[in-house]
Amino acid sequence: MNPVFELRNGVLIPQIGFGTWQIRNPHDIKESLRIALDTGYRHIDTAQIYGNEALIGEALQELNVPREELFITSKVWNTSQGYDQTMLAFEETLRKLQTNYLDLYLIHWPAVNLHQDYKTMNRETYRAMESLYNQGKTRAIGVSNFYVHHLEALLPHVEITPMVNQIEFHPGNPMPDVVSFCQARGILVEAYSPMMKGKVFQLPLLQEIAQKYHRTIPQIVLRWILDQGVLPLSKSITKERIVQNFDVFDFTLSKEDQEVIATLQSMGRVGTHPDVANY
């Protein structure tokens, strides 16, 4: 059983997503998805820029899981922003994934340095997503890599408040301002790069806490994220890791241990800040 969060529109979203960034080998896609689905994952996260939507679509057809059991997310890439371009990109995503609807569609980045007036571009892109939502082509819409000032520029101009904001979130970068801003408005925060691109394995503090709970470091990190009311996206092509990362629903961390893990926040981001990204 995959516990769920409830989005602000009542749609249920599985609490752990299976991330597919950088998985482009057809064998790896099919095998990792097979293992993930056998384990219990039902939430699959991809994006236009990942270059694997078609492979995921083919794999899901072969694996023959009923579409209504799946929660599929994709994201519109920066160069496809704007109303008309977003509508075209969405249809291409549906074709590649071999489905007639998405469960969640996101603006991938605010693309601050790509568009001369990124705020207007974000608004037009999101207006297209509202149209798709109203047409029933996606069950939820939202954004990714949006910080408070990006959201403040967008929210006064929307008819439908985003259901989700997907950001880099982990013990080294807990983003309390973004999380509190979103949670106060009923926007679910999703966490990508939860393992800090492997840096979590180098931290003695996490090793100690993992030993205390008789768990792996990734399990501790994923549980910590869930305990913050945030949805983690777990990515691996290794069977043992895929299975272990899903086995986090039968324990919680003490408040004391949650606070100790939060002291790692001084480590900061492992990825690009949205305001300096040049793509």
* Active-site position among 41, 50, 126, 192: 50
- Among 52, 74, 19, 77, which residue's Cα sits nearest to residue 279? 77
CATH, domain 13-197+228-237, list 3.20.20.100, 3.40.109.10, 3.40.630.180, 3.20.20.70 = 3.20.20.100
Please name the residues in contact with 210: beta carbons below 8 A apart, sequence gap of 6 or more: 216, 217, 219, 220
Dihedral of CA atoms 169, 174, 177, 181 in degrees, nearest 10, equals: 50
| Known catalytic residue at 50 | yes
Q: Which residues contact 109 (CB under 8 A, 6 or more apart)?
A: 78, 144, 145, 274, 277, 279
pLDDT at residue 2 above 90?
no
| Tens-place pLDDT, residues 54-89 | 999 999 999 999 999 999 999 999 999 999 999 999
Q: What is the mean pLDDT of the chain?
A: 97
State the pLDDT at residue 1: 65
